[in-house]
Chain A
Amino acid sequence: AQSVSQHNHHVILSEAASLELGCNYSYGGTVNLFWYVQYPGQHLQLLLKYFSGDPLVKGIKGFEAEFIKSKFSFNLRKPSVQWSDTAEYFCAVKGGGYNKLIFGAGTRLAVHP
């Protein structure tokens, strides 16, 4: 069965700290990979996506993610977080020949000033 795993459920950082959120998936074959962010009280917004090409993808607000096919991973990174990055982050995967976008359980990030 298709599954998406996010390793960290809660992350607490101070401003200017670096961020890395893990995401692994269980699909074989071609995959399309996404990171979404949900700010408190809001709906999901797309941060970045990977379909093909350069495995290092840059998104909005200084976020980037690296696709490592051999590790079935798509980790999200940001060199220096801000208080405004406090939100819940979701990894999502579509692939394995299925027309389904499957989400991980999410990671709650709290950034303290």
Chain B
Amino acid sequence: NAGVTQTPKFQVLKTGQSMTLQCAQDMNHEYMSWYRQDPGMGLRLIHYSVGAGITDQGEVPNGYNVSRSTTEDFPLRLLSAAPSQTSVYFCASSPTTEGALGYTFGSGTRLTVV
């Protein structure tokens, strides 16, 4: 049981490049979400999904796209990377939208945009 798997663990991009951060869970969780963590600002919600085919915006969605074609995968796309997107990105999932059983976090992707 791998839990929540994020790839890559580290990435350096040049300004304007695009890339996709991968998130996969093997627990058949209904709810998945992406956060970015910046010093002094905690975790801020980027996008979330309550099931396959359903996504919605969080607190800081600009510059990011998501899709949820399967229950297992929830990739985060940066269309044109900017230095302001330098951050640590965490994917989280929960069995239900309600979150009664808590949320499981991946180990993070550290992204640097130069």
Residues of A within 8 A of B (CB): 6, 9, 32, 34, 42-46, 49, 51, 90, 92, 94, 99-106
Contacts and interface: CB of A to CB of B under 8 A. Distances in A.
Given A43-B90, A99-B50, A99-B56, A51 B100 contact: yes
Q: Most B CB atoms within 10 A — which of A32, A92, A99? A: A99
A6 B40 CA distance: 11
A81 to B, nearest CB: 21
A104 B103 CA distance: 16
Contact of B108 (A6, A43, A92, A100): A43
Q: Most A CB atoms within 10 A — which of B31, B98, B99? A: B99
Bin chain B's interface residue count.
20 to 34
A103 B42 contact: yes
Contacts of B45: 100-103
A102 B59 contact: yes
Given A32-B98, A102-B45, A43 B35 contact: no
Contacts, number: 56
A104 B97 CA distance: 20
11 contacts: A43-B105, A44-B43, A46-B102, A92-B43, A94-B98, A99-B31, A99-B97, A100-B48, A103-B35, A103-B44, A105-B40
Q: Most B CB atoms within 10 A — which of A44, A100, A102? A: A44
B40 A9 contact: yes
Contacts of B103: 34, 46, 101
B59 to A, nearest CB: 7
B58 interface: yes
Given A42-B107, A99-B97, A101-B45, 14 more contacts: A32-B98, A32-B100, A34-B102, A44-B90, A45-B105, A99-B31, A100-B45, A100-B59, A101-B99, A101-B103, A103-B42, A103-B45, A105-B41, A105-B42
